[in-house]
Each structure stands twice: as structure tokens, then as C-alpha cells.
Chain A
Amino acid sequence: MRKHIDKIILAGLITSTTIVLGILLVLLIRISMDAWGWIDWQFINSYPSRKPELSGIKAALLGSLWVIGFTALFSIPIGIGSAIYLEEFSEDNKFNRFIKLNIANLAGVPSIIYGLLGLAIFVELMQLGRVILAASFTMSLLILPIIIITSQEAIKTAPKDLVNASLALGATKWQTVLKVILPISLPGIIVESSYLFQER
């Protein structure tokens, strides 16, 4: 009896995993089939045109690249800086725990709320208008909490004995951060950040 239940449940679990993979496969195949033959150099390297056959995505593609580039420029230094401060320099008191909790909550705020914030502050209050900079600032706000959290996680992985050894040799806190902790945690930070740019 129990032997049969075991097999039935295993079959059910395998089925649900297969469904998830199947949906992914169907999506990939459908998109590839629809796009097949249309994506070529002409499509990438032309501007929108009145004739559909000649139009391309150059403007939109470069626009996305610009926005992402500026976003990375603003958000990565600020994000890593705050992560280093929170993880290495700040005391573990009530106020700092409150800040960390709020950063975690900010990471769960939907992107459209940040869009509204950007619309109100950068586009209207600062009179930037709908430009690349306004988009990049807004995007930076959106991904900063996530960069801070993942950087904190990466900084935590730096072995404590290496840090203590560096401090014991007379290095200052800042030297330890710059020469011991960052070289260890930077690969993790970069990998996590690049995932972020794909997702958004």
C-alpha cells in the first residue's frame, strides 16, 4: 500500500516539475519561431520607419543600453558603499537594524511605485523632463536596495580570520575593507549585480 502511494506521489511531483519546464520550452520555441528570419543586422541597425519591412530597433536598443549604463554608474558605487558601511562600520543598534529592515522592505516595492516617484521628483519637481537621466535615476533607486542586500551578503562571506589577521597586523579598518574584504567579495557583487540588470 505505502509502496504504491510512494510511487503515485513521486509521479505527481515529477509531473509538476515537467509542467514548469514544459512551459519554459513552449515559450522559447514559440518566440524563436516567430522571430526566426526577422532578426538580422538590418533589424538591429535601423531606425523606426514608415515601411514596416525596413524599420528596426536601433533607437530603442541604444536607449535601453544608455539607461542601463547610467544606472550602473550611479547605483553600483552608492550600493557597495552603503553595504560596506552597514556591514563593517555601523554599530549593531536599534536604529541601524531599523535601516536594514527598511532596505529589505524597499527591495519588495513594485517597480511602478518607483516609476511614480521618478515621475514626481525627477521629471516634474527637478524639471528634468522625460530624459535618459531621469530614467537612470529612477532605475538606480529601484535596484539600489537589491544591490545593497546582495553586496552585504557577499561581504559577509569574507572569512573572519583573514579580517582579524589584517587588523592584527596594524591595518586600519578602511585598509582592511579595501585590500582584504573587497577583493574577496567583489566577484560575488558583480555577478549578482549583472543578474539584476537582466531582470529589470
Chain B
Amino acid sequence: MGIFPDMIIFNALSAGIVMGIMITPMVSTISEDSLVAVPQSLRDAAYALGARKYEVSFKVVFPAALSGIIASIVLGLSRAIGETMIVTIAAGATPRFTLNPLESIQAMTAYIVQLSLGETPHGSLEYNTIFAVGLLLFVMTLIMNILGRWIAAKYTQDYSS
């Protein structure tokens, strides 16, 4: 609250920052795997042509591993959409539309938690809405996961020959 004086305790920004920290290990490990998979001969060839370290990294190894890196980002984001506890704790429970990240919002997963733990009677219309929200969430993550895998599989270059 020191940086932004008029900030509310529960806000979208802090949830976003924590979520970013959460998916960092996932993105970096999958990206690292695809960087390691780039054959050493490519690096050696670039060095032999007189390239510096950063040129080898950014112009040879990075493009070669790009599919894995994009896939890691898509899979990380799909993980972030389904993340429950961070948004329940940090983002608040105020359903409204705002582009201001300093205001309190409500995420889909937090809505499910709020309703399934609340006083809402089982079997009522309001109770059944959590299953609709769950289905939407499922479809979104499924599409992102399929997309991530598709990118990884389609643009992976075969260096084995």
C-alpha cells in the first residue's frame, strides 16, 4: 500500500503478480528442456563462424527452441487460469468489470469456491451455476492445453539426421 496509496487490500494486481511468480518455475523448466534439446553442433557451428555468446543464444538457440518456449507459456497460462487459492485469497470477491488492476475483482475459480462453501441450498439454480462455470473453465483450459501441445509438436524441428 506504500506504492499505490489508494489501493484496496484485495486487488487484481497482487493476485496477478503472485500468479506470475507461481508459473515462473513451470515456464522456465519447460523452456530450459527445449533449450537443452537444441543440438550442440548448432552452437559449435555458430561459434566457428565468429558469433558471440549472445548471438548464439538469441539468433541460433532461441529460435530453434521457440516452439518449446511458446508451449511452456501457453501451458503456464492454462495453469494460471485454473489456479484457485491465489485468486480466492488475493483478488477478492467483487464481481464487476474493470480494467483497473488496483481494484478488487472476482475470478471464475473464486466464484466456485464462494458458492460451494456458502449458504446456498444444494440443488437450487444458483448452486447449479457453479457447474456451468466449471464447464467453461474446463473448455478454456482444454483448448489451451491442446494448443500448447500442438505448437510443441508441430514446430519441433528434427535435428536427429
Contacts and interface: CB of A to CB of B under 8 A. Distances in A.
Interface of A: 2-3, 5-6, 9-10, 20, 23, 104-105, 108-113, 115-116, 119-120, 124
A110 B83 contact: yes
B137 A110 contact: yes
Interface stretch (B7-15, B33-41, B74-82, B92-100): B74-82
B82 A112 contact: yes
B89 interface: no
At the interface, is chain B mostly helix, strand, loop or mixed? helix
A112 B137 contact: yes
Interface of B: 21, 24, 28, 52-55, 57-58, 75, 78-79, 81-84, 109, 112-113, 116, 122, 130-131, 134, 137-138, 141-142, 144-146, 149
A24 B48 CA distance: 39
Given A9-B54, A10-B53, A23-B21, A109 B112 contact: no
Contacts, number: 66
A108 B137 contact: no
Contacts of B145: 104-105, 108
A101 to B, nearest CB: 8
Contacts of A120: 131
A111 B141 CA distance: 11
Contact of B81 (A5, A9, A110): A110
Given A3-B52, A10-B54, A108 B138 contact: no
Given A20-B24, A108-B78, A110-B109, 18 more contacts: A5-B52, A9-B54, A9-B57, A104-B149, A108-B75, A110-B81, A110-B141, A111-B82, A111-B84, A112-B84, A112-B109, A112-B113, A112-B134, A112-B137, A113-B82, A113-B138, A115-B84, A115-B112
